[in-house]
């Protein structure tokens, strides 16, 4: 098995279904940033029946609030924030076709079940490696919610963006397997 699986974002269903918890992946393509306040606002739009700033079908949301870019930088430091804080917002997003999420840490059983039900995937990347991660982001444009500052939605073009599959579409769980293997 190759050390890395290369995938394109947005993802097609075949790609999502082929991924397994514990696999290392390199993502190239487009990601959208979003964290707490971003999610709250997106859910409010869905509840009001208004359109979202981007079509969620097949997309990956990266749980990110970057530091301000210096002149000449594409983006500032850009590591992941805690995934579980977005757990309460997930159902309407999967209903709208969201296929992937990237963040640090584990998720609730409810979300693991939703990932399985909606044939989605959750990736984890290295929390706190934010300076290093910034180098795989090649383009960054703010597309919505400018007033939220770091919590605005940024459209990110990434190349060989390093992640691991944390939860796959069959309900496998990287974290549980890891603890069972190394715990004493």
Query: Which residues bind to other proteins, rule: CB under 8 A?
Result: 24, 37, 64-70, 73, 76-79, 81-85, 104-106, 124, 126-132, 134, 148-151, 164, 174-175, 177-184
Nearer of residues 34 and 66 to other proteins, judged by Cβ = 66
Q: How far is the CB of 101 from other proteins (least distance, A)?
A: 14
Nearer of residues 104 and 138 to other proteins, judged by Cβ = 104
HEC readout, the chain = CCCEEEEEECCCHHHHHHCCCCCEEEEEEEEEECCHHHHHHHHHHHHCCCCCCCCCCCCEEECCCCCCCCCCCCCCCCCCCEHHHHHHHHHHHHHCCCCEEECECCCCHHHHHHHHHCCCEEEECCCCCHHHHHCCEEEEEEEECHHHHHHCEEEEEEEEEEEEEEECCCCCEHHHHHHHHHCC
Q: How far is the CB of 85 from other proteins (least distance, A)?
A: 8
Q: How far is the CB of 31 from other proteins (least distance, A)?
A: 14
Nearer of residues 31 and 56 to other proteins, judged by Cβ = 31
Nearer of residues 142 and 179 to other proteins, judged by Cβ = 179
Q: How far is the CB of 41 from other proteins (least distance, A)?
A: 11
């Amino acid at each position: 098995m190759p050390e890395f699986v290369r995938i394109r974002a947005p993802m097609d269903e075949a790609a999502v279904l082929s991924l397994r918890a514990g696999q290392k992946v390199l993502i190239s393509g487009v990601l959208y940033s979003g964290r707490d306040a971003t999610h709250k606002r997106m859910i409010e739009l869905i509840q009001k029946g208004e359109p979202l700033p981007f079509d969620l079908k097949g997309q990956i949301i990266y749980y990110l609030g970057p530091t301000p870019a210096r002149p000449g930088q594409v983006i500032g430091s850009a590591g992941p924030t805690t995934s579980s804080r977005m757990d309460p917002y997930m159902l309407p997003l999967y209903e709208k076709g969201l296929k992937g999420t990237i963040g640090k840490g584990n998720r609730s059983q409810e979300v693991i079940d939703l990932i399985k039900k909606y044939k989605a995937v959750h990736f984890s990347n290295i929390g706190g490696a934010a300076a290093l991660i910034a180098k795989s982001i090649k383009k960054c444009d703010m597309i919505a919610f400018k007033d939220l500052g770091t919590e605005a939605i940024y459209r990110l073009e990434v190349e060989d963006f390093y992640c691991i599959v944390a939860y796959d579409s069959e309900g496998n769980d990287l974290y549980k397997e890891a603890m069972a293997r190394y715990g004493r």
